[in-house]
């Protein structure tokens, strides 16, 4: 080792394992994306490039309906979650410790701690009895269920943004005789906007991806894209599932990249 | 404290609660509240076609470990249930071990990159982390299926003549869980290693320690909170896994999550399903308490 410099942080074999891990992490996803463009039925033998499976998926009424429901639920749930999370973040940050603070934190973070299957079962029981009592079976159950588990994901980036914000601008506004509301509307809200957008995007992605809770809460004919895919997995896998996955994947990557760019500017 | 100060504090507390109220209402309605209903249901009598009859009954809780013989009515240990619990715990522990074995070097690799490259590698870990779990399960399914990428390539290369049957076995579930939960191990490990003072390594080598000794005596003890955090972040969702064992394990290789679902479907034993859910919840909460302790210790360098 004398002839080359001694790198203290080098541990033998670590780089190899790490590179292998990255390859293994991406290989299945890349395979999935590549074979969604395969012209043949097979998900293992390449038969030429085509967009057939995207066309077939889009021509499928079940997929169209599921896409529509996924988007409606994700948009509504993330809107609700972001609104209430913004208010909660304003209530719980930038002030001295208050009575019940820990309780509120625990409540907000609860969906991150309870296993999804347990929440799913709980909502199944609860909503089933409401459905029987009211006879109403609409999407609203799914929207509320999604809104609840999206709250912590919307709350965390908003809170992080608020905590990193400079108080002096608000003090300045108050010094210049702005009312509480004017200060909030003209100073606080624009400053915290990147956090709110980031939170909303995260909530949207989380809602769009949910399988377990949706699977248990949905009524007949209320499949979203992930539950539709889960149902398809029981049968032979066709590249149609790959095509749907690729579209969802692309959407996630776009939203996440935007999220990173938004939150990076904070620093 | 003057009465004016007390008043001001009360007003602050009130406004904090008022602003948090809408979020709390949604959460109580669609997250925390229903958990209490599950608790109540675990003490009721199973209905004939699912649902419950409102009579107090402990059979849900007893049913976790024991079953009643259909013929002579005696209670015996429920071997089938124990098999499922054992599989869940075993696969979760193995998933944790595998993700640690792969995740630690990966986290170390990322943390020791030059600052500019680090964000890129970290982003590569974060993308799968946020990618739909079902999509990742579908992806790994396409690799290990009988006609999947792995088997077709091995046959094409002439290594094997018959496909190796992995899908619908415990091994498939294990591979799938290790694959989908790896980022959960890497991220907290990275956070711990990132804080690690590399000068300690120099000190170790200056004192003639070997690489292995430095790893065991210097690195591992200091990043221990990160190891505990990562292990629990992997173990907890593994134990409650539903999608991965369902897709990769087929109907037979159930884990607790699928077993719970069964009680609300074909099993038609809602109280048993409710009692199982509560048990899973308690186990997970205990694990998370350990996690919080470890995370707090991590903040205190002298801890």
Q: What is the CATH number of the domain that holds A196?
A: 1.10.3720.10
Q: Closest Cα of chain B to A98: distance in Å? A: 6
Q: What was the pLDDT predicted at B260?
A: 95
In contact, B63 and B78? CB cutoff 8 Å: yes
- A93 occurs within a structural domain: yes
B 18-47 residues with CB < 8 A to A? 18-20, 22-24, 26-35, 37-38, 41
User: Which of A32, A81, A107 is facing B24, going by the closest CB pair?
Assistant: A107
The winner for highest mean pLDDT among A117-121, A255-259, B165-169, B298-302 is: A117-121
Give pLDDT tens digits for B215-273.
Answer: 888 888 888 888 998 999 899 999 999 999 999 998 788 999 999 999 998 888 999 99
Q: What was the pLDDT predicted at B1?
A: 55
In contact, A209 and B133? CB cutoff 8 Å: yes
- A127 occurs within a structural domain: yes
CB proximity B181 to A under 8 Å = no
What residue numbers bound the domain in which A201 lies?
A: 64-264
Task: Say which DSSP state B57 is in.
Answer: -
**pLDDT above 70 for B301:** no
- A180 occurs within a structural domain: yes
**pLDDT above 80 for B155:** yes
Reading the block at residue B287, the tokens are: 């694990």
Q: Which residue of A has its CA nearest to B249?
A: A234
- A7 occurs within a structural domain: no
**pLDDT above 80 for B45:** yes
Region B191-201: mean pLDDT is: 86
CB–CB of A122 and B128 under 8 A? no
Q: What was the pLDDT predicted at B7?
A: 85
CB–CB of B243 and A209 under 8 A? no
Give pLDDT tens digits for B46-57.
Answer: 888 878 888 898
- Which residue positions in chain A have pLDDT lower than 50? 1-4, 266-267
In contact, B204 and B217? CB cutoff 8 Å: yes
Q: What was the pLDDT predicted at B302?
A: 43
Region B165-169: mean pLDDT is: 90
Give pLDDT tens digits for A215-225.
Answer: 999 998 999 99
Distance CA A194, CA A232 (A): 38
B 251-290 residues with CB < 8 A to A? 256-257, 260-261, 264, 270, 273-274, 277-278, 280-281, 284-285, 288
- A194 occurs within a structural domain: yes
- A130 occurs within a structural domain: yes
> What ipTM did this prediction achieve?
0.88
Q: What was the pLDDT predicted at A71?
A: 95
SS3 readout for chain A: CCCCCCCCCCCCCHHHHHHHHHHHHHHHHHHHHHHCCECCCCCCCCCCECCHHHHHHHHCHHHHHHHHHHHHHHHHHHHHHHHHHHHHHHHHCCCCCCCCHHHHHHHHHHHHHCCHHHHHHHHHHHHHHHHHHHCCCCCHHHHHHHHHHHHHHHHHHHHHHHHCCCCHHHHHHHHCCCCHHHHHHHHHHHHHHHHHHHHHHHHHHHHHHCCHHHHHHCCCCCCCHHHHHHHHCCCCCCHHHHHHHHHHHHHHHHHHHHHHHHHHCCC
The answer regarding whether domain B79-299 maps to CATH 1.10.760.10 reads no
User: Which of A25, A108, A205 is facing B23, going by the closest CB pair?
Assistant: A108
Contacts of B24 in chain A (CB under 8 A): 88, 104, 107
Q: Closest Cα of chain A to B72: distance in Å? A: 32
Q: What was the pLDDT predicted at B178?
A: 97
Contacts of B136 in chain A (CB under 8 A): 28-29
The winner for highest mean pLDDT among A95-104, B93-102, B149-158 is: B93-102
Q: What was the pLDDT predicted at A259?
A: 83
User: Which of A19, A117, A249 is facing B257, going by the closest CB pair?
Assistant: A117
Q: What was the pLDDT predicted at A184?
A: 87
Q: What was the pLDDT predicted at B111?
A: 92
Q: How many domains does chain A have?
A: 1
- A232 occurs within a structural domain: yes
Q: Closest Cα of chain A to B92: distance in Å? A: 14
**pLDDT above 70 for B298:** no
- A203 occurs within a structural domain: yes
Contacts of A177 (CB under 8 A, 6+ apart): none
CB–CB of A81 and B26 under 8 A? yes
pLDDT > 70: what percent of chain B? 97
Q: What was the pLDDT predicted at B151?
A: 87
User: Which carries the bigger pLDDT value, residue A214 or residue B128?
Assistant: A214
Region B130-158: mean pLDDT is: 88
Q: Closest Cα of chain B to A193: distance in Å? A: 18
């Amino acid at each position: 080792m004398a002839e080359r410099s001694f790198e203290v942080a080098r541990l033998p074999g670590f780089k190899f394992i790490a590179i292998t891990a990255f390859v293994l992490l991406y290989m299945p996803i890349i395979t999935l994306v590549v074979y969604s463009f395969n012209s043949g039925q097979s998900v293992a033998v390449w038969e030429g490039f085509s967009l057939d499976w995207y066309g077939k998926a889009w021509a499928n009424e079940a997929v169209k309906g599921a896409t529509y429901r996924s988007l409606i639920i994700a948009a509504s749930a993330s809107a609700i979650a972001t609104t209430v999370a913004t208010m909660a973040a304003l209530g719980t940050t930038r002030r001295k410790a208050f009575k019940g603070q820990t309780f509120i934190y625990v409540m907000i973070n609860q969906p991150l701690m309870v296993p999804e299957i347990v929440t799913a079962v709980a909502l199944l029981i609860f909503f089933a009895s409401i459905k029987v009592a009211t006879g109403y079976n609409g999407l609203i159950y799914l929207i509320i269920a999604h809104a609840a588990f999206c709250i912590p994901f919307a709350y965390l980036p908003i809170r992080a943004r608020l905590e990193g914000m400079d108080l002096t601008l608000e003090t300045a506004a108050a010094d210049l005789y702005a009312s509480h509301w004017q200060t909030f509307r003209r100073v606080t809200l624009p400053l915290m906007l990147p956090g709110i957008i980031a939170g909303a995007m995260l909530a949207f992605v989380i809602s769009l991806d949910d399988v377990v809770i949706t699977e248990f809460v949905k009524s007949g004919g209320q499949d979203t894209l992930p539950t539709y895919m889960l149902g398809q997995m029981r049968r032979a896998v066709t590249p149609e599932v790959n095509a749907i996955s690729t579209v969802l994947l692309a959407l996630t990557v776009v939203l996440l990249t935007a999220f990173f760019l938004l939150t990076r500017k904070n620093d | 404290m003057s009465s004016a100060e007390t008043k001001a504090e009360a007003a602050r507390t009130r406004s904090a609660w008022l602003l948090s109220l809408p979020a709390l209402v949604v959460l109580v309605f669609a997250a925390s509240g229903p958990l209490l209903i599950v608790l109540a249901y675990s003490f009721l009598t199973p209905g004939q076609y699912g649902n419950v009859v409102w009579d107090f009954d402990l059979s849900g809780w007893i049913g976790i470990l024991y079953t009643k013989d259909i013929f002579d009515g005696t209670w015996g240990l429920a071997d089938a249930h124990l098999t499922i619990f054992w599989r869940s715990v075993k696969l979760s522990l193995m998933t944790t071990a595998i993700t640690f074995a792969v995740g630690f070097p990966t986290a170390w690799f990322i943390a020791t990159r030059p600052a500019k490259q680090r964000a890129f590698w970290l982003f590569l870990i974060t993308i799968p982390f946020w990618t739909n779990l079902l999509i990742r399960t579908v992806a790994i399914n396409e690799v290990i299926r009988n006609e999947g990428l792995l088997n077709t390539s091995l046959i094409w290369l002439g290594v094997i003549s018959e496909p190796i049957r992995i899908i619908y076995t415990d091994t498939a579930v294990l591979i799938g869980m290790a694959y989908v939960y790896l980022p959960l191990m890497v991220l907290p490990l990275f956070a711990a290693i990132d804080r690690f003072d590399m000068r300690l390594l120099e000190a170790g080598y200056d004192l003639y320690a070997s690489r292995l000794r430095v790893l065991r005596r210097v690195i591992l003890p200091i990043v221990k909170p990160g190891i505990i955090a990562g292990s629990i972040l992997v173990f907890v969702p593994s134990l409650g896994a539903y999608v991965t064992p369902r897709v990769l394990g087929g109907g037979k290789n159930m884990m607790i999550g699928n077993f719970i679902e069964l009680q609300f479907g074909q099993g038609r034993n809602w109280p048993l399903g409710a009692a199982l859910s509560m048990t899973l919840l308690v186990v997970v909460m205990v694990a998370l308490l350990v996690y919080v302790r470890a995370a707090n210790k991590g903040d205190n360098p002298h801890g």
